[in-house]
Amino acid sequence: MTLAEFIAALEALQSEASRVFAGVQSKEDLEEARVRFLGAKKGAFREVQQQLGKISKEDKPQAGQQLNKVKKALAEALENATDSLKEKDSGSDSPTPDPTLPGIPMDLGHVHPITQTIEHLKEIMGRMGFESAEGPEVEGPWHNFVALNIPEDHPARDPLDNFYLATAGATAGEEGSQLMRSQTSTVQIRVMEKRQPPIRIVSLGRVYRPDAPDATHFPMFHQMEGLLVDQNVTMANLKTVLRVFANNYLGSDVPIRFRPSFFPFTEPSVEVDFLWNDQWIEFGGAGMVDPAVLTAVGYDPEKVGGFAFGLGVERLCMRRHNITDIRDLYSGDLRFLSQF
C-alpha cells in the first residue's frame, strides 16, 4: 500500500465517521457508530491502522502522523455526539414545569403519646391543686434510697437491679456513687428538703431499671409521683385523690383495688390495681409517708403527715388507649405512633 492510498483511506474514514456521528439521534445510534468506527477489534479505524505495517519504512512517520490526527478527530466526533444527545435528553423531552400544580404534601410530626399522656396527667392533677415538680434523672444513693428509708442491705439497692454509673472513687451503692434514678420518689425528698408543708406536688418523669422488656415492662419508663404533706392527712384523702384521678383519666366506671403491700418509705402501704379486661393489673404503689422519711428531711412527724403515690405512666396510657404491648410505644414505628 502506498502512502497516498493510506491517506485516502484515512480521509474517507474521517468524512464517513463525521457524517454518521453528526446524524446520531439516540443512545442506540451512538453505540452503533462507536462500534462501527472505533470498535477495538473490528472498528473501521482499527482496520486502517492495521494497514500501517504495509507502508514503506520512509513513509511510515508521515502515515503515523496522519493516523493519529484522524484518531483524535474520531474521538472528538464521538464526544460531541454524546454531548448533544445529553442536551437533547435534558431539553425538549422533559416536561415543562407547571407552576399551578399543588405542592407535594409533607407529613407534620406530632407529640409522642407518652408526652401527650404526661401533659394530660399534669393537667388533671393540676385541677386538684397538685403543682408540677421536677428532679434530676442522675441521682445519688441519698435521694434514691437512704432518705427514702431503704436500708443498705435492701435488694432494691443491688447493683444488678439498677443502672449505676461508673463514678471515680465510689463503689456502686455507696455515698458518692451515681445511678439513673429507679423511681420518681427521689423528687419527694428533693421537694421536702427545700420547702415546708403544706406541700402538694406531682412529678412526672423518666426512671430506669434493668428489667427485661416484655408486654408490660421496659428498661426506661415513666412514673407519676404524687406527694401531699399537711396536717391531719389520712388514708381516706389518698384514696379520694386516686379515685378522682381515675375517674378523670380512665372513666368513672373503672374499678380500683387497694391491696396491702410494703414500701420502706410509706406506712401503711398499698398497691394500686385497676381492672383491665377482667384482670386486676398493678398500676403503682402508694401509702402514708413513713415518719422516718419526714425525719430525714427535717420535718416533725408529730406535727405533719402525708401521703404519696407512684403510678406507671405507660400503663395508664396503655389502659386508656387499649395498647396491649408497651414496646409499641418505643418502637419508633410511625404506623403505630401516628394513631395518637
Nearest distance from C-beta of residue 275 to ligand FA5, angstroms = 15
- Binding status of residue 310 toward ligand FA5 by CB under 6 A: yes
Which range binds ligand FA5 by CB under 6 A, 110-118, 139-147, 241-249, 279-287?
A: 279-287
Is 308 among the residues that bind ligand FA5 (CB under 6 A)? Answer: yes
Query: Among 6, 164, 249, 263, which residue sits at the site for ligand FA5 (rule: CB under 6 A)?
Result: 263
Which long-range CB contacts under 8 A does 21-30 form with residues at least 24 apart? 21/77, 21/78, 21/80, 21/81, 22/77, 22/81, 24/81, 24/84, 24/85, 26/85, 27/85, 30/78, 30/81, 30/82, 30/85
Residue 302: alpha-carbon gap to chain centroid = 49
| Residues found in the chain | 340
User: Does 320 contact ligand FA5 by CB under 6 A?
Assistant: no
181 forms part of the interface with ligand FA5 (CB under 6 A): no
- Give me the least distance between CB of 286 and ligand FA5, in Å please: 5
| Candidate ranges 105-113, 244-252, 292-300, 305-313; the one touching ligand FA5 (CB under 6 A) | 305-313
Spatial contact of 209 and 179, defined as CB atoms under 8 Å apart: no
Based on the shown chain and the rule CB under 6 A, indicate whether residue 211 belongs to the binding site for ligand FA5.
yes
- Check binding of 113 to ligand FA5 (CB under 6 A): no
Q: Is 327 in the site for ligand FA5 (CB under 6 A)?
A: no
Residue whose CB is less far from ligand FA5, 49 or 216: 216
Chain position carrying cell 405542592: 103
Residue span binding ligand FA5 (CB under 6 A) among the ranges 52-60, 69-77, 133-141, 284-292: 284-292
Q: Give the cell for residue 263.
A: 414500701
Do residues 63 and 7 make contact, with C-beta atoms less than 8 angstroms apart?
yes
54 by Cβ neighbours in 10 Å (0-12 / 13-18 / 19+) ranks as exposed
| Among residues 285, 304, 305, 306, the one that binds ligand FA5 under rule CB under 6 A | 285
The SS3 call for residue 48 is: helix
Nearest residue to 112 (alpha-carbon basis) of 282, 314, 251, 315: 314
Cα(326)–Cα(113) distance, rounded to whole angstroms? 12
* Candidate list 37, 164, 221, 249; residue touching ligand FA5; CB under 6 A: 221
| Binding positions for ligand FA5, rule: CB under 6 A | 183, 185, 209, 211, 217-218, 221, 223, 263, 266, 282-287, 308-310, 312, 314-315, 326
